[in-house]
Amino acid sequence: MTASLNYKHLYYFWVVAKEGSITRAADRLGIAVQTISGQVGTLEKSLGKALFAPQGRGLALTEAGRRALGFADQIFLLGEQMLDVLGDSDAGGSLRLTVGISDALPKLVAYRLLNVALRQPVPMRPVCFEGKFESLLADLALHKLDVVLTDRPVGTATNLRVFSHSLGEWDIMIYGVKALAERYRTGFPASLDGAPMLLPTRNNALRGRLDQWFEAKSIRPKVVGEFEDSALLMTFGRTGQGLFPAPAALARDVAEQFDAEAVGKIPGVQEHFYAISGERKIKHPAVEAILSATRDMVFQP
């Protein structure tokens, strides 16, 4: 008699494979370690194959485990897409686009990129989550997200099956409310020496480039605030707390939303933006639109 497949056991195997250990999988699912270990063991027994082998403090997939993971990826992807299609029958026929947005990514940039996706012939319903880069990647690998928008590529050391797509490099401008802009525009960029400055935290890719540029120019601004969240940084800038960096292409948006004027462009310093996608057999049309977006498409009215 042919063994039947228990999809709950397969799901637990899938999460363990994505997380790299039973303990991390248990934390993510909120289930006891013993429960996951027992059910994965039951799956291995029913298949007659070992799916994992010990590797240091974690687990590594066996050859059978790698093959099983490929099928599990497709099974759960199709299941999620089925729920999307059936669930969206009450949402006017729109297709859900689940997006992870890195807290370091300027929200104006995220909006522009999403606007490209929303121009598709099929109505799109974006569902957006903001978070830390690493956490968003884990959710992407588990197919909880369709795409992640961020300011950095995936590191080469990761074992997650995700892929970075560069969306371009955009020049950086220094902005400030009118009084600050008028004061520091004259003599720019030397005028930035000692100027009050709001900057991203040091784990932000742009911060490293700005620090290098300041050092090369012997400019020492007075850092009056550091922020992981780009929207909060710009909000403080709107109150006149200090000057702040943002993409030059967003000058009109920054003026309208944060009442700030351009002080000057930082020569040679650019911010990089990426879309990170998972490995999927069936492509999401909105994700494909984002991946193929050009700078002109992003910034057209």
> Is this prediction's pTM over 0.85?
no
Bridge partners, 196 (sequence order) = 222
- List the single range of 4-18, 67-81, 248-262 with lowest mean pLDDT: 67-81
**Average per-residue pLDDT in the chain?**
85
SS3 94: coil
Query: What are the E-state strand segments in 132-200?
Result: 147-150, 162-176, 196-200
| Average pLDDT of the segment spanning 96-102 | 89
CATH class of 7-80: mainly alpha
- Give phi and psi for 7, each to the nearest 5: -75, -25
Q: How far is CA 30 from CA 12, 23, 27, in A?
A: 12, 10, 5
CATH number of the domain located at residue range(s) 86-168+274-299 in this protein:
3.40.190.10
The predicted structure's pLDDT at residue 129:
92
CB environment 262-296: b (16+ within 10 A), e (fewer): bbbebeebebbbbbbbbebeeebebbebbbebeee
The CB density around residue 203, as the number of other CB atoms within 10 Å, is: 12
pLDDT in tens, 60-95: 889 998 888 888 877 876 676 666 555 554 555 667
Rounded percentage of the chain residues whose pLDDT exceeds 90: 38
| Average pLDDT of the segment spanning 291-300 | 66
pLDDT: which is higher, 297 or 245: 245
CATH class of 169-271: alpha beta
Closest CA to 263 of 241, 283, 243, 287: 243
The predicted structure's pLDDT at residue 122:
75
| Average pLDDT of the segment spanning 100-125 | 84
The predicted structure's pLDDT at residue 82:
64
pLDDT: which is higher, 142 or 233: 233
Would you list the domain boundaries of the chain? 7-80, 86-168+274-299, 169-271
pLDDT at 1 over 50: no
The predicted structure's pLDDT at residue 297:
60
pLDDT at 187 over 90: yes
| Average pLDDT of the segment spanning 128-146 | 86
pLDDT at 284 over 90: no
The predicted structure's pLDDT at residue 87:
57
Same fold, 7-80 and 86-168+274-299: no
